[in-house]
Amino acid sequence: MLDPALEKAILERVAAIPIVDTLGMQVLELAPGLCRIKVARKPAYDGVFESFHGGLLMTVADSAACFAILTQTGSQARLTTTDMNIRFLAPCLSDLTVAARTIKVGRTMCPVGVELFDEAGTLVAVAQVNYLLLA
């Protein structure tokens, strides 16, 4: 279980991020090394094939990874994405739920595994995001 003060501080930091508001990201759960997010599918987010745009799936995966790391480093940690990859497995035709779990929080590098699911629980993508902790 996450310390309530840390959870509150992370949620305050998250609420100040413009893309969180733009996409309507909703943090469902924070636990040590874990963040779960939900994003409602809107036609404005569709790509060429009338499914949730892949670039936005990457954006949500990146954000969830960051928030998962903050559960272990503290809400004010300075960090940045160094690289990420994603494998699209199925089109997302509904709301999206994302689960990000830290693989390791090292001195400087923090790899995070991310799974993205549609409303039916179908795994639509998997990603790995690598963050660098800044001094």
Note the pTM of the prediction, 2 decimals.
0.96
At 1-42, the pLDDT tens digits run 899 999 999 999 999 999 999 999 999 999 999 999 999 999
Question: What SS3 state is found at 26?
Answer: strand
pLDDT of residue 126: 98
Q: Packing angle between helix 4-15 and helix 54-73, nearest 10 degrees?
A: 140
Closest CA to 68 of 40, 97, 92, 98: 98
Instruction: List the Cα angle 33/69/15 in 5-degree steps.
Output: 110
Average pLDDT, the chain: 97
Closest CA to 26 of 127, 96, 84: 96
Gap between the Cα atoms of 79 and 70, Å rounded: 9
- Give the percent of the chain with pLDDT over 90: 96
Which domains are present in the chain?
Answer: 4-133 (3.10.129.10)
At 55-100, the pLDDT tens digits run 999 999 999 999 999 999 999 999 999 999 999 999 999 999 999 9
Instruction: List the Cα angle 21/14/107 in 5-degree steps.
Output: 140
pLDDT of residue 129: 98
